[in-house]
Structure 1
Amino acid sequence: MKNYKTIFNRIASKLLLTSAAVYGFSCEVFIDVDTPKTEIISQTVFTSDASAMSAVRGIYSLMASNLSFTKGGIEELTGIACDELVNYAVRPDQVQFYQNSLTSINSDVNGIFWKEAFKYIVNANAILEGLNIATGMTSRGKRVVEGEAKFIRAFCYFYLVNLFGDVPYLETTDYRKNATASRHAKAEVYAFIEKDLLDAQELLPEDFSSSNGERTQPNKAAAIALLARVYLYQENWPKAEESSSLVIGNELYALHTDLDKIFLANSSEAIWQLKPVVPGTNTPYGTLFILTSAPNATSRRVSLTNELRVAFEANDLRRNKWVGMFSNASGTWYFPYKYKVALNPVVTEYSMVLRLAEQYLIRAEARAHLENFDGALSDINVIRDRAGLEALNILDQPALLLAIEQERRVELFTEWGHRWLDLNRTGRSNDILAPIKSDWQTTDMLLPIPESERLLNPNLSQNLGYSY
């Protein structure tokens, strides 16, 4: 049986080494001379603010380098599962997403979503446990590291609970407990998420001092922004409005008037971005989406659906700026063009995780449900005005909510699975997807619990609609 302390030490070691490789820190100063070079003891990792923060940054490095939902996986796979993207891949696991015919042995479900999310969660738990034995760290350093670890855990659980429904909630690195953990009800998981984000809100700094002035690590506003989304998904309209208003009113953030500059590194609209770490590239979205040849089964596997392409209103600047086109003798294909760079060693774009425009749309939806139609219209028209569109004047709640859904569709397309999650949370999946997806079933709204995980943990039940 593996020793618990050894597992914890290895997690901390790998995180620190990953961060060092990416950010250029020296590992040697953190290695005890009496300890093998392959293992950094946890007591050493948490003896200074710098080494503990390196461990946190190691998680962001994993997010930006692993084959993961955080590196284009959620955009591609949920995009082809709904009405955003056409799939050209022939790999069976990806075809299952496109045809809404997932099985519980799908390797992408397990490897890209389930395992990666829980990997980051357990790593965050390792950091939180390390803080309990930390020596030499300042009080501020402990607060910031704790806040970021709790934010990471909440962020990953947000996606797990919306993709899988009920999921195990892990608060430890103890594999003996984790290996037999049962699924928690969705509402319980949301309560844990809210608690972590409220803690992060209090612990994190207001500025970007933890990330040397860059927007590559979450701060207080990032915790509030994710809270606003969590409240929206729980239909807690007053708190969704309150939280989004705090972010919108924060002078650190401003909507870019130039649509071409929104996704640049450290954009004024960025609340949190992931910094590219793969040499020679910018974001994964440039290499995934930009078509320089016809779509194919391997390197350029998706294009925009006709349903999304025609969803834009006439004269919408987002259609002109954010939709690219490639043509040859065989045809014409359209692709997401929010990110303009594919392969370039000069990094000018960071992966946008949270941005200000979403907060306006969150507040608009919350206000519409609270029957503050003037306020909702003000928010949605801010986004429309930037897109070069006329202001709306809708005073009917159902019509206004549909207008907000439409605005979210064309503003947030191919970003972090928003379209897939929006259709599911609002109960609109059947109405929108059944007419265009021949194999669509209501139970497709949730991914299957990976069968390999259920074989290891008999306490994991399966979602409805999946045979095993």
Structure 2
Amino acid sequence: MKNYYTKYTYIFSFFLLAGLTGCDDALDVDLPSNQLSSATVYQSDVTAEAAVNGIYQSMVESAYYSDIHTVLGETSDELVPRTGIANVYSSNEIPETDGSMSSMWTQFYKTIYNANNVIEGISKSTTLNPAKSKQWLAEAKFLRAYAHFYLTNIWGDVPLILSTNIDVTALAPKTAQQAVYTQIVLDLTDASKDLPVNYDNYDDERIRATKWAAETLLARVNLYLGNWNEADAHASAVINQSDTYKIVTGLTDTNNPFIADNEEAILQIPYFNVTYTYEGSAVFTTGGTFLLRKGNALFETGDDRKTNWTIDIINNAGVFLGIAPRKYKNNFNDSPAERSTILRLAELYLIRAEARVKLNNITGAQEDINVIRNRALLESTSLTDPTQLSDLIALERQREFFAECGHRWLDLKRTGKLDETLSVLADKIWKTTDNLYPIPEDAIRSNPFLIQNTGY
């Protein structure tokens, strides 16, 4: 059994309590120094909650703080290397052996495995606090849905993993994307019922999922599925929580949506006991590892997002190379405290605007677009043509979410615009089959029932 276990660890991690020690006050839990068995973990509220915290800890990985931003940004029309030299991502020539493919695949499934472990352990326990157990189960389902969402949107049909049973999961074949989405919606719907409606349980830190995080992801999922009424309703449910969530206005280095616990943040991931993020300290640095492909042309004159969220890159010879993302400002400093932000209110306004255009609610769509434009110090739109409004929403999404959680790549995919957008770029070797990434070679080799995506 040991050899069997080792052979198939590629799909997901089997470190039961990896990273369970705290990454912030609300996540700090001291565990015994001896290794705990699964049965022991779910006998105590303290250790059970530590296991839940461990799911969040599994998201402090390169897939979440780097690859999801940079790899997806480069394969789209968003980011290019500062060097100007094309790589496998910016040219869309990703090999099956690529290390980022392996890390993303493995780390997303690690999150899913840890979530499944919590779901199974809490469901079997008879000693845990019932109210807390409901919340913990809801958190695990939310995080499982979040990881499955990225897996299916990056690779298409993927194994749907709902168990920790190695005999079942190690040789799991692909599941049709429709079925993966069905499970995502089910998990999020269940989670929304039992997650807390505020951050009181978390010392007012926005570092664990609430009902509104589940509603936000439901709004996104329904937008992707073309369920316009549902996308509108879920987005409105979050927007209406105006006592908790507000768009951050008057952008500055110390007043922006990436500051810890700001009013726009719906869910943030803290990085251990530090006040900076890996995004700001190592990924999008002042040196400009990546440039925005469209540069200044992406923004209208006076757009405050260009002013506050980008940095000019000039080489040693004094030549202007372009502008680079700089949403996260804290480079190993103590203040202001920042956190990796994975869900924020601005997305809900643009989701609802897009849904409202589809529902022919033009006035409502204008109002939502203008919330985002006005925050950026741009004039309100007066467009009424649905096609023009849809194009403006796509542009505002590109401006609002550049270098952030892969939004641009996923937007081009879901709207069917990858071919027309990327095939005309000279540095890309574009094929229609590039819309899906290659499943990592090691995953294919270890699982004979896992079939490589077309084109690889």
Normalised TM-score (structure 1): 0.89
Which residue does 2:75 correspond to in 1? Answer: 81
SS in 2 for 1:98: coil
Distance 2:13 2:396 in 1: 47
**How many residues of Structure 1 are paired with residues of Structure 2 in the alignment?**
445
1:392-407 matches, cutoff 5 A: 392-407=381-396
SS in 1 for 2:342: strand
* Structure 1 runs, 4 residues or longer, greater than 6 Å off: 3-10, 18-22
Which residue does 2:20 correspond to in 1? Answer: 16
Which residue does 1:227 correspond to in 2? Answer: 218
Which residue does 1:107 correspond to in 2? Answer: 99
SS in 1 for 2:36: coil
Distance 2:231 2:274 in 1: 40
SS in 1 for 2:452: coil
Shift of 1:19: 6.5
1:257 pairs with 2:244 = no
Paired letter, 1:275 = P
Shift of 1:88: 4.5
Shift of 1:377: 0.8
Paired letter, 2:68 = I
Which residue does 1:325 correspond to in 2? Answer: 312
1:149-298 matches, cutoff 5 A: 149-250=140-241, 251-260=243-252, 261=255, 262-277=257-272, 282-293=276-287, 295=288
Which residue does 2:452 correspond to in 1? Answer: 462
User: Contact 1:22/1:61 (CA < 8 Å) preserved in 2?
Assistant: no
Distance 2:274 2:246 in 1: 30
Larger relative contact order (Cα-Cα within 8 Å, sequence gap ≥ 6):
2
**Is the helix fraction higher in 1 or 2?**
1
1:447 pairs with 2:447 = no
SS in 1 for 2:59: helix
The verdict on how the C-alpha distance between 1:322 and 1:99 changes in structure 2, with shifts beyond 3 A counting, is same
SS in 2 for 1:400: helix
User: Contact 1:128/1:149 (CA < 8 Å) preserved in 2?
Assistant: yes
User: Contact 2:218/2:234 (CA < 8 Å) preserved in 1?
Assistant: yes
SS in 1 for 2:20: helix
Distance 1:316 1:76 in 2: 23
1:121 pairs with 2:117 = no
Paired letter, 2:312 = M
Distance 2:210 2:452 in 1: 36
The verdict on how the C-alpha distance between 1:5 and 1:26 changes in structure 2, with shifts beyond 3 A counting, is farther
Shift of 1:419: 0.4
Shift of 1:95: 2.1
- From 147, 153, 159, the equivalent of 2:138 is 147
- From 36, 40, 48, the equivalent of 2:36 is 40
Distance 2:3 2:165 in 1: 10
Paired letter, 1:14 = A
Which residue does 1:298 correspond to in 2? Answer: none
Q: What do residues 73-106 of structure 1 show as CA deviations (whole Å, max 9, x unaligned)?
A: 1111111112221125799xx9211210012121
1:345-384 matches, cutoff 5 A: 345-346=334-335, 348-384=337-373
1:56 pairs with 2:52 = yes
Shift of 1:304: 2.2
User: Contact 2:58/2:107 (CA < 8 Å) preserved in 1?
Assistant: no
Shift of 1:258: 2.2
Distance 1:450 1:434 in 2: 25
Distance 1:125 1:4 in 2: 20
Shift of 1:45: 1.2
User: Contact 2:228/2:359 (CA < 8 Å) preserved in 1?
Assistant: yes
Paired letter, 2:429 = D
SS in 2 for 1:439: coil
Distance 1:15 1:320 in 2: 37
1:292-311 matches, cutoff 5 A: 292-293=286-287, 295=288, 301-305=289-293, 307-311=294-298
User: Contact 2:13/2:106 (CA < 8 Å) preserved in 1?
Assistant: no
User: Contact 2:20/2:29 (CA < 8 Å) preserved in 1?
Assistant: no
SS in 2 for 1:14: coil
Which ranges in structure 1 are unaligned for 5 or more consecutive residues? 32-36, 296-300
Paired letter, 1:421 = L
SS in 1 for 2:88: helix
SS in 1 for 2:127: coil
The verdict on how the C-alpha distance between 1:101 and 1:5 changes in structure 2, with shifts beyond 3 A counting, is closer
Which residue does 2:29 correspond to in 1? Answer: 25
The verdict on how the C-alpha distance between 1:280 and 1:372 changes in structure 2, with shifts beyond 3 A counting, is closer
Paired letter, 1:43 = A
